[in-house]
Amino acid sequence: MSAVVCGLGGWLPPTIVTNEELCDRLDTTPEWIRSRTGIIERRVVSSGTATSDLAVEAGRRALRSAGFSTVGAVVLATTSPDRLCPASGPEVATRLGLVETPAFDVDSACSGFVYGLATGVGLISAGVSDSVLLIGAEAFSTLVNPADRTTATVFGDGAGALVLRRGRPDEPGSLDAFDLGADGEHSDLLAIPAGGSRQRSATGLGHGDEADWYLHMAGRAVYQQAVARMRDSTRRVLERTGCSASDVDVLAGHQANIRILEALAERLGLPGDRIVSNIDRVGNTLAASIPLLLDTATNGNLIPGDRVLITAFGAGLSWGSTLLTWPDLFVQPVDLSAEEETT
């Protein structure tokens, strides 16, 4: 028994923030952001909009793509849940009409979607669920310090979702081989210090530096870790599947920085044209990055039969990779240049 991808959908909040707009309030230039990251614009939620709102839109599109009205479980990968407690997954499931369906969150930052995929495959393989809706959604702009040029230029909001169903290992879309890893030794390189039990128990509610309530990122160190971890992780997945880099048609890597993906492709011996990217339009959307990328890549860059190498890296530190043959799906990809209508 295997788990097979059978539906895909994405959604972006309508508000676009360009590099030029950021430069009005930050000590940076549009050219610095574009040349050092590949990002030209990103989407952000408007006041009052939360991660679950984005997740519901993407989830609805993925269910439609699969032709499903029910699923056996909902997994929400997010690092920006609506509230610290409870998890946002149950509310998302209910709003999708998935009554009393098991639902929970996976918090693994930018690797969250790959961790969620492995979780979904596990639920199906163990016979717990016959299908899973996996959503990666983030309103992470709410956790980014608007005065910090290292992070405010990089992160954006969005959501993407996949539906998995029980299937055969030899079917296109089958997910079998994963490599997952984590290294808590370097957890401080990417962290939001306040808000959890550590700072509350030490200083009480609301104390400490306001900047501690936002993401801190040691950009250069994270960059180096990202390239090395994704290189090793993808190599392990290729080895496990008996494939080599020349078998890979598409490198669908976490969209953190186009230079990271170029460095990764070079280290794997993959030509640069195998990289698919939408970072110029959406920036780094953490757990939403991979499904949003797959969704927009179906607009001509990803065709049934392609061997797709998926890899992600993020806070934790954490990383994960998998390889699959792209299935024939009915997808209506998000229009990166237009405002989406909610449904």
- Of the listed 6, 19, 110, 145, which one is catalytic? 110
Long-range contacts of 261-267 (CB under 8 A, 24+ apart): 263/227, 264/227, 264/230, 264/231, 264/234, 264/311, 267/227, 267/231
In three-state secondary structure terms, 279 is: helix
**Known active-site residue 284:** yes
Among residues 173, 116, 112, 138, the alpha carbon closest in space to that of 52 is found at 138
What's the closest the beta carbon of residue 158 comes to ligand UT7, in angstroms?
13
What's the closest the beta carbon of residue 263 comes to ligand UT7, in angstroms?
11
Residue 177 or 218 with smaller CB distance to ligand UT7:
218
CA angle 331, 258, 142 (to 5 degrees): 75
Cα separation of 67 and 98, whole Å? 14
In three-state secondary structure terms, 181 is: strand
What's the closest the beta carbon of residue 135 comes to ligand UT7, in angstroms?
18
What's the closest the beta carbon of residue 142 comes to ligand UT7, in angstroms?
16
- Of the listed 6, 19, 145, 254, which one is catalytic? 254
Residue 66 or 227 with smaller CB distance to ligand UT7:
227
Residue 188 or 339 with smaller CB distance to ligand UT7:
188
In three-state secondary structure terms, 50 is: coil
Residue 28 or 299 with smaller CB distance to ligand UT7:
28
Cα separation of 228 and 244, whole Å? 18
Q: Which residues bind ligand UT7 (CB under 6 A)?
A: 28, 32-33, 36-37, 110, 149-150, 153-154, 190, 219-220, 222-223, 226, 256-257, 260, 284, 313-314
Please, are residues 258 and 340 in contact by the beta-carbon 8 Å criterion?
no
- Of the listed 19, 257, 278, 284, which one is catalytic? 284
- Catalytic positions, please? 110, 254, 284
